[in-house]
């Protein structure tokens, strides 16, 4: 979607949108619109929308009013995003090709104006690549948004917000793509194409290189697949020379059958999004690179496909991780933690980060605990946990903190190895986090985000359509803005 800025409305305007705070309607509207909004019980609640038609200079004009909620609300940016998103949801396939967004007399500052546009763009994203028989009324028609009456600085604010949108869209694209299109090698290739010319450095490890490093934990997951495994690191040095980077590490199981511990057939197709953590990491890195964040950051993703085969890892096998610790693999469907174990070790030893955040669609138990409302947060550092909670709240990628303790840790002790990859039925998400904690070295501040319930939506939300949500990409970008001032 193209966003333009203008001092005046185009002469061929057929659709005009206004933003209204709770309890208000825009000034200067025709009586039929203001009275019509009142009759329709339009309150200006965030995301509420009213539409009417008026005759302006002999031309019938479609006028929309989108609610932005209370002007003094703590969630002001999120509410303004909902206002923009409501416009996209209404008019994306309406037959209208252009929309004029009139921000005159709204009192919005540049950042808030950009929030409206961000919501509009995020809600406009769809994955129609393989849909060849859409009816005309199902096809996207809205192509252009022209902003008039924008406050000073809005264009610069939108440039920054557009980088956020691009990162979220890249995450959504990767998560939405089927597993025959996104597998470890093609995931890397898509990132190489997307980051070309940005100034980011990409490092790729293949199977032989990972074997030489002793990554038996990660490589064991991919033994049953015809697709080779990969590790991809994206480095951005926007901060001071020599400053230790912030590291983001993502689980990238591009398809998860469960391996020999085979999942039930119904719903297995959803496992194309078991790489949602890696999608969030590379989407966040794209935003950070595009907006030239003034911080040193590295994003690392471990990419595998988990398939059953005569060569596949068996329940009961013991593997040796890069850290030297041995793991009894009791369930091959608890594979994400095996991927992250080696990815975390390599990240720490290669880049020596000052803080580490990993993201993974790790456990079904997290969906049982939190549903689709929050991602789970586990951390060995209260300050890091608080920073992530605040970042998630600010952008709507909500988190909820869970405990870690020695009592849970002992549940994954193995009688024949250093640990086993699953514990008992209870506290499944916690024991998974305790497993990962064993691979954190030198008490490095670390957080694990279990986002199993958040990367995919079975119905449309405020700023996303049904399908890939892009969860996590904005959270990491906001975390860097808030904690690194970048």
Q: Supply the pLDDT for residue 201.
A: 98
Active site residue 263: yes
* Residue 40, token pair as written in the block: 């329709």
Q: Which one from 90, 121, 337, 438 is the annotated catalytic residue?
A: 337
Asked whether residue 402 falls in the same domain as residue 269, the answer is yes
Q: Supply the pLDDT for residue 256.
A: 98
Q: Supply the pLDDT for residue 486.
A: 83
Asked whether residue 304 falls in the same domain as residue 350, the answer is yes
Q: What is the CATH number of the domain that holds 21?
A: 3.40.220.10
Asked whether residue 226 falls in the same domain as residue 143, the answer is no
Q: Which one from 263, 398, 401, 437 is the annotated catalytic residue?
A: 263
Of 149, 178, 203, which residue sits at a domain end? 149
Give me the torsion for CA of 405, 406, 411, 417, rounded to 10°. 130
* Residue 482, token pair as written in the block: 């808030």
Backbone angles phi, psi at 365, to 5 degrees: -60, -30
Residues pairing with 66 in the sheet: 19, 49
* Residue 253, token pair as written in the block: 């199981």
The pTM of the full predicted model, rounded to 2 decimals, is 0.98
Residue 209 belongs to a domain: yes
Active site residue 337: yes
Asked whether residue 251 falls in the same domain as residue 169, the answer is yes
- Give whole-number Cα distances, 138 to 93, 351, 459, in Å: 6, 47, 17
SS3 of 206, please? Answer: coil
Q: Supply the pLDDT for residue 216.
A: 98
Please name which of 397, 375, 398, 395 lies closest in space to residue 448, comparing C-alpha atoms.
375
Asked whether residue 172 falls in the same domain as residue 90, the answer is no
Asked whether residue 138 falls in the same domain as residue 185, the answer is no
Alpha-carbon span 236 to 375, nearest angstrom: 26
Asked whether residue 116 falls in the same domain as residue 228, the answer is no
Residue 364 belongs to a domain: yes
Residue 265 belongs to a domain: yes
pLDDT, averaged in runs of 10, over the chain (486 residues):
93 94 92 95 97 91 97 92 98 97 94 98 97 96 97 98 98 98 98 98 98 98 98 98 98 98 97 98 98 98 98 98 98 98 98 98 98 98 98 98 97 98 97 98 98 97 96 98 92
Asked whether residue 138 falls in the same domain as residue 186, the answer is no
Q: Supply the pLDDT for residue 134.
A: 97
Of 149, 179, 205, which residue sits at a domain end? 149
SS3 of 202, please? Answer: strand
Q: What is the DSSP letter of 45?
A: -
Q: Supply the pLDDT for residue 6.
A: 96
Yes or no: say if 63 and 16 are a contact pair by the CB < 8 Å rule: yes
Alpha-carbon span 301 to 279, nearest angstrom: 9
* Lookup result for tokens 């608080």: 386
SS3 of 62, please? Answer: strand
What's the full length of the chain, in residues? 486
Give the residue numbers spanning the domain of 61.
2-149
Of 126, 149, 172, which residue sits at a domain end? 149
Asked whether residue 370 falls in the same domain as residue 421, the answer is yes
Residue 155 belongs to a domain: no
Asked whether residue 36 falls in the same domain as residue 112, the answer is yes
Asked whether residue 179 falls in the same domain as residue 131, the answer is no
Give Cα 78 to chain centroid, integer Å: 16
Alpha-carbon span 177 to 127, nearest angstrom: 8
Give how many domains the chain has, as a whole number.
2
Backbone angles phi, psi at 436, to 5 degrees: -65, -35
Q: What is the CATH number of the domain that holds 450?
A: 3.40.630.10
User: 424-456: string of b/e by CB count within 10 Å (b at 16+)?
Assistant: eeebbbbbbbbbbbbbbeeebbbbbbbbbbbbb
Residue 312 belongs to a domain: yes
Q: Supply the pLDDT for residue 11.
A: 85
Asked whether residue 301 falls in the same domain as residue 229, the answer is yes
Residue 156 belongs to a domain: no
Residue 383 belongs to a domain: yes
Residue 157 belongs to a domain: no
């Amino acid at each position: 979607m193209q966003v333009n800025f203008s001092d005046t409305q185009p002469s061929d305007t057929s659709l005009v949108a206004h933003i209204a705070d709770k309890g208000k309607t825009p000034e200067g509207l025709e009586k039929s619109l203001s009275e019509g909004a009142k009759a329709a019980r339009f309150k200006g609640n965030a995301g509420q929308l009213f539409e009417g038609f008026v005759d302006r200079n002999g031309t019938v004009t479609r006028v929309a009013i989108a609610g932005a909620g209370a002007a003094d609300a703590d969630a002001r940016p999120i509410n303004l995003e909902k206002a923009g998103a409501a416009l996209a949801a209404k008019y994306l396939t309406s037959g209208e090709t252009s929309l004029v967004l009139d921000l005159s007399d709204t009192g919005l500052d540049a950042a808030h104006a950009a929030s409206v546009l961000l919501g509009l763009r995020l809600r406009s994203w769809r994955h129609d690549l393989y849909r060849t028989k859409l009816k005309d009324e199902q096809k996207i028609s809205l192509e252009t948004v022209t902003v008039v009456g924008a406050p000073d600085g809005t264009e610069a604010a939108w440039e920054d917000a557009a980088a956020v949108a691009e990162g979220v869209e890249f995450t959504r694209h990767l998560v939405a793509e089927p597993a025959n299109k996104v597998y470890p090698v093609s995931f890397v290739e898509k990132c190489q194409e997307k980051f070309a010319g940005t100034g980011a450095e990409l490092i790729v490890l293949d199977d032989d290189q990972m074997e030489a490093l002793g990554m038996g934990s990660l490589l064991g997951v991919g033994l049953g697949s015809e697709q080779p495994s990969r590790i991809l690191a994206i480095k951005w040095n926007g901060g001071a020379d020599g400053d230790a980077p912030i590291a983001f590490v993502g689980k990238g199981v591009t398809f998860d059958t469960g391996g020999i511990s085979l999942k039930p057939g119904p719903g297995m197709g959803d496992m194309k999004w078991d790489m949602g953590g890696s999608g969030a990491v590379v989407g966040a890195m794209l935003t950070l690179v595009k907006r030239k964040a003034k911080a040193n950051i590295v994003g690392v993703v471990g990419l595998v496909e988990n398939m059953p085969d005569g060569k596949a890892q068996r329940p009961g096998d013991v593997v040796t991780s890069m850290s030297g610790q041995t793991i009894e693999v009791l369930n091959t469907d608890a594979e994400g933690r095996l991927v992250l174990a080696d990815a975390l070790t390599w990240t720490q030893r290669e880049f020596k980060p000052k803080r580490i955040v990993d993201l993974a669609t790790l456990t079904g138990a997290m969906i049982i605990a939190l549903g689709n409302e929050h991602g789970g947060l586990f951390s060995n550092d209260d300050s890091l946990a608080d920073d992530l909670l605040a970042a998630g709240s600010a952008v709507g990628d909500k988190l909820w903190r869970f405990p870690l303790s020695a009592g849970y840790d002992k549940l994954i002790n193995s009688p024949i190895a250093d640990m086993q990859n699953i514990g008992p039925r209870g506290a499944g998400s916690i024991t998974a986090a305790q497993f990962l904690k064993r691979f954190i070295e030198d008490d490095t501040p670390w957080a694990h985000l279990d986002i199993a319930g958040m990367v995919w939506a079975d119905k449309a939300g405020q700023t996303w359509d049904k399908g890939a949500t892009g969860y996590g990409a904005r959270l990491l970008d906001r975390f860097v803005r808030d904690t690194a001032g970048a």
